[in-house]
Amino acid sequence: MTTRPRKKRSKAKKASQKKSFVKAAAKKKSVKRPSKTRGAKSARPVTKRANASTAPSKHLKRAARRRFALLGVSGRRPKSVAQRGPARGRVTARPRVGKQAAAAPRVPGVAIKAPLRPRYTEILTPAALRFLAELHRGFEAARQRILAARAEPLNPEEGQLALPDPTDTATIITSLGSDPQIELADFGNPNAAKWSSRIEAQINLKDRWSRKMKPRADSPDQSAVSNAPSGLIVRPRGWHLLEEQLPIDGAPISGALFDFGLYIFHNAMAQIAAGPGPRLHLPKAETPEEIELWNDVFAFAQERLGLPAGTIRASSSMDGLLEGNSA
């Protein structure tokens, strides 16, 4: 039997077969078979990430451009600030706000040196201060002439600053004489030596004529004022006393004009509506010129405030009843 001679393989063919064999072996190694352990879950095949060097597709570039356009130029999202709702269960102490002092009214030429309490501006109104300024500018020169004509001039501070400071500011309104229905609001009383006493007395008088203050039946000699319309008489201070707390044009106003001016300005109309009109008791006068000066002051106040002539009446130790008559 004859045997065929074997054909020799070419070197190129052998090399190609060897390469295919190596590829098949490498493919078998890359595929991991799941383990055969009982109860264990099979691991998910790990997908390979795309290399960073690979270029993104066109639709990814287009989506990124849209996203940057919506977010802004930088492409960063704005930081979200957490908004806190109302605090629950958390109590914080509020800062205490003190009561502000009453602001002094501004009137040209008029200054207030004393502190103002809450209701003081009800009396020291701009209109009332302008009225006081008119009284001071119209009658200060005549007052100075009267004081210079006195044989023995009195100390301007006599009977006021040397008095003890009282604690009760309402006792300047007292019964007059034996008639308990007639009461006197005496601003020359020692209890009116303080600025606060005088202003609070003016507040009480204004409340009385506006029916805000009721009389006290248990203590008729205190701040109570009788219901009788003509049962109240006001006594201002003398010409020689000054109101140092209220300078006008740099000089203190007369205490007499200060007491009279505030009372008449705030209460004259109400007192006329309730009865015969304002009644005053003038301090002791030494000369007829002092009474004549009071008459001029009454006439000026009646004309300035629109009151009928003869509305303001006063009594003094020299001239029984004094009526303000306009010239």
Q: CB-side exposure of 86: number of CA atoms within 13 Å?
A: 2
β-pairing verdict for 232-235 and 242-248: unpaired
pLDDT computed for residue 288 by the predictor: 87
Distance CA 56, CA 78 (A): 26
List the domains of the chain with CATH numbers. Answer: 120-323 (3.20.20.360)
pLDDT computed for residue 315 by the predictor: 86
Give bridge partners of residue 179 from the DSSP assignment: 176
pLDDT computed for residue 209 by the predictor: 86
Question: How does 164-183 read in b/e, with b if 16+ C-beta sit within 10 Å?
Answer: eebeebebbbebbeeeeebb
Cβ atoms of 123 and 266 within 8 Å: the answer is: yes
What does the pLDDT look like over 52-82, one tens digit per residue? 455 556 667 777 777 766 665 555 555 665 5
pTM: 0.60
Distance CA 154, CA 231 (A): 32
pLDDT computed for residue 9 by the predictor: 56
What does the pLDDT look like over 108-165, one tens digit per residue? 999 999 999 989 999 999 999 999 999 999 999 999 999 998 765 455 444 332 222 3
pLDDT computed for residue 182 by the predictor: 77
The helix (run of H) or strand (run of E) holding residue 179 is strand 179-186
* DSSP code string of 261-283: HHHHHHHHHHHHHHSS--EEEPP
